[in-house]
Amino acid sequence: MRGALLGIVQNFLVKSREDAIRWARELPEGESRTYAWAKMARILGGHDLDVAVEWTRQLPPGKDRDRALTEAVQAWALNHPETAVAWAQSLPAGEEQDRVFEAVVMGQVERLRFDDITFKDLIAAVEGLPAQYREPAYRAAMKWPPSTVTMAQGKADWLNAQPSGPQKDNMISDLFKDHVPQLDPGAAAHLALSITDEKRRQVALEMVARHWLTIDKDGAARWIRQSDLSADVKVTILATGK
């Protein structure tokens, strides 16, 4: 269903942008409209942000229009981060500006997928955002699957340099959700130990221990015995060997 809708949107846009925009605007409310508007906005936004924004402004107010706008901005920000940030900053403060900045952030984070930006470059771009958008941007970057071990280690290195506290705890937890296997076990353990919240630190250390056992059982066992893991968790992990 969605594949067919995407094909319709793409064919319409190739043949007649005006007809495509008119067709999308007249779709009845529902899942098909939500999807079609989002895809059309993304395609338009990838080529011309002004055209995409002008079109979304003509749509009926609501969640579908909000999503279309964010899809357009995210697509533009993927390749034009500076102008996307400038446009977001030009908007009046409020819910729409917040959504637009979130879309700019995700457009930047999405660039990681294409290997055309380093994590250091991404952080530099994020630091140019207004303060209230930085932590969500950092956390989104941590969650985004890195395509290489180098990218994962770049995230860990950056986190190691950050001051301890709840924000750092959140970002380490975000990184560890999917990326522990891409980190050196010793480096991951060092990062886990910097978590200030006791419960979250224990969870992170257990994740490191279980992964370490899969690649170096003897080395992992030595580390587990002297680690800050609780005694019962040590016994359980060492007994099961995983």
Tell me the HSE value of 41 on the side-chain side, using a 13 A CA sphere: 26
Summarised one tens digit per residue, pLDDT across range 53-97 is 888 888 888 998 999 999 999 999 888 888 888 898 898 988 888
The amino acid occupying position 153 is Q
Summarised one tens digit per residue, pLDDT across range 179-211 is 888 899 999 999 999 999 999 999 999 999 999
Contact indicator for 127, 112 with CB cutoff of 8 Å: no
- Give the closest residue to 214 by CA, choosing from 191, 180, 177, 190: 180
pLDDT at residue 142, as a whole number? 78
Q: How many Cβ atoms sit within 10 Å of the Cβ of residue 27?
A: 15
* pTM higher than 0.75: no
**CA 238 from centre of chain:** 35
Q: How many Cβ atoms sit within 10 Å of the Cβ of residue 67?
A: 18
Summarised one tens digit per residue, pLDDT across range 32-54 is 788 888 888 888 888 889 988 88
Contact indicator for 151, 120 with CB cutoff of 8 Å: no
